[in-house]
Amino acid sequence: MTESSYEVRPIGRVESPLTDRASAPRQGDEGAPDAWLVFREDVHEGLRDLRVGDEVILLTWFDRAARDVLVVHPRGDLARQRQGVFSTRSPDRPNPIGLHRVTILAIEGSRILVKDLEALNGTPVVDVKPVLAQDTAER
């Protein structure tokens, strides 16, 4: 197996009232606030078909995560048995990519307001994708 690595270049940042990991909600549907995504001007054209009301998948980079962690207590709850990180959504994992399904509430140029985002202020944004039927289909 070759040992290449790849460079993630943030396309923007999260602007959020959440600044403290300890007090942030674990998931967006657990009381997370609305947050602005502030995109770099040089990716603006890629945003041109996003619309208010769209549901999108937002990928972030948890820049405050520990990358050498392979087992965690789910949700940080010490009473719960430790699990392999790939069975959890812990931000602490080898490649700390955050996956968030959010709804667009407003668009102002290269700033996009989304509903219920649990990412901390300053978190790098790395991608935005549309939700496909196959993401949500009952299997």
70: contact with a second copy by CB under 8 A: yes
Q: Tell the burial category of 115 from Cβ atoms under 10 Å away from its Cβ (0-12, 13-18, 19+).
A: middle
Any idea what DSSP says for residue 115?
S
Scanning 22-100, the segments in alpha helix (DSSP H) are none
Q: Enter the tokens of residue 139.
A: 């299997």
13: contact with a second copy by CB under 8 A: yes
Q: Which is nearer to a second copy, 22 or 132 (CB)?
A: 132
Among 34, 107, 111, 127, binds a second copy (CB under 8 A): 127
Binding mask 25-64 for a second copy (x = CB under 8 A): --xxx--------x-x--x-xxxxxx---xxxx-x-x-x-
124: contact with a second copy by CB under 8 A: yes
Q: Is 64 helix (H, G, I), strand (E, B) or coil?
A: coil
23: contact with a second copy by CB under 8 A: no
91: contact with a second copy by CB under 8 A: no
The answer to whether 16 and 116 are in contact (CB under 8 A) is no
Q: Is 50 helix (H, G, I), strand (E, B) or coil?
A: coil
Place of tokens 């942030």: 24
Q: What residues make contact with a second copy under the rule CB under 8 A?
A: 1, 4-13, 27-29, 38, 40, 43, 45-50, 54-57, 59, 61, 63, 70-71, 83-89, 93-95, 97, 99, 101, 103, 124, 126-130, 132, 134-139
